[in-house]
Amino acid sequence: MSQRQITLKILRYNPQEAGSEPRLQSYSLETAEAMTLFIALNEIREHQDPTLQFDFVCRAGICGSCAMMVNGRPRLACRTLVAELPDTVVLAPLPFFELIGDLSVNTGKWMRGMSERLHTWLHTMEESPDICRIEERMEPEDAEAVYEMDRCIECGCCVAACGTARMRQDFVGAVGFGKIARFRLDPRDIRTDADYYELIGDDTGVFGCMSLLACHDVCPKSLPLQNQIAFLRRKMAQVSIRRE
């Protein structure tokens, strides 16, 4: 592959600094083979602009830290090969989440709030199981189905891509639905649909979702969000029909 020059237009803004105004700043960069946005951004920071803020942790697409808007769409920067991008690329922070500075956003804070709100932990009868004993059995298929949804990395792409969330700040978001679906699939969890209805059975929850499905289309882990959200909607609708 031949090397080429690309321009990264990066949204710069530091909300903590008085007088800082959001603007796009251009950086020119020579590409290299197998260069990802992780490598490109670090190169810029090392050689052109040490003040540039962005987040990376695992740089292998498994931790979800580096989600950002790449030409208007949320993606994991570490998994984005520069070779796939056009000559001019606009990088911007994920919308919706609290901005820390430049490309860095506070997804962690929001995700913790989401977990607290949706009680995203396994609910069991036994408070402290006897861990010396042989574990409870679980069908291999059930474990696989749970893991399928458990692969979510809470990167925030789905929420940043969600038109509903853009309009209502209190929307649960696909990540939240994914969590509920995960625990609903888990035979160890004792909660019923009526319990889940208390968590997502309103317009900030599953009935507020307008099925724009950008969540499904941008999910870097390819979680089956469309089907799972539809499934939850049907179950929650049943509860609302049956409920007194």
Q: Does 153 participate in binding another protein (rule CB under 8 A)?
A: yes
Burial of 113 (0-12, 13-18, 19+ CB in 10 A): exposed
Closest residue by Cα to residue 103 from 82, 84, 83, 75: 75
> Rounded to whole angstroms, what are the CA distances from 2 to 10, 83, 87, 93?
24, 10, 13, 30
The gap from C-alpha 232 to its chain's centroid, in whole angstroms, comes to 19
Token pair for residue 51? 């003040």
Helices (H), 70-172: 107-118, 140-150, 157-160, 163-167
Q: Does 198 participate in binding another protein (rule CB under 8 A)?
A: yes
Position among 9, 11, 25, 115 found at the interface with another protein (CB under 8 A): 115
Q: Does 116 participate in binding another protein (rule CB under 8 A)?
A: yes
Q: Does 234 participate in binding another protein (rule CB under 8 A)?
A: yes
Burial of 177 (0-12, 13-18, 19+ CB in 10 A): buried
Interface with another protein in residues 80-109 (CB under 8 A) = 81, 95, 100-101, 104, 106-109
Q: Does 11 participate in binding another protein (rule CB under 8 A)?
A: no
Stretch that binds another protein, among 2-10, 23-31, 170-178, 211-219 (CB under 8 A): 211-219
Shorter beta-carbon distance to another protein: residue 7 or 62: 62
Position among 138, 170, 190, 192 found at the interface with another protein (CB under 8 A): 138
Q: Does 167 participate in binding another protein (rule CB under 8 A)?
A: yes
Rounded CA-CA distance 87/164 in Å is 31
Q: In angstroms, what is the C-alpha Rg of the chain?
A: 21
Shorter beta-carbon distance to another protein: residue 64 or 173: 64
Kindly state the smallest distance separating residue 139's Cβ from another protein, in Å: 6
Rounded CA-CA distance 28/153 in Å is 31
Q: Does 21 participate in binding another protein (rule CB under 8 A)?
A: no
Shorter beta-carbon distance to another protein: residue 7 or 148: 148
Q: Does 17 participate in binding another protein (rule CB under 8 A)?
A: yes
Q: Does 61 participate in binding another protein (rule CB under 8 A)?
A: yes
Position among 6, 37, 55, 176 found at the interface with another protein (CB under 8 A): 55
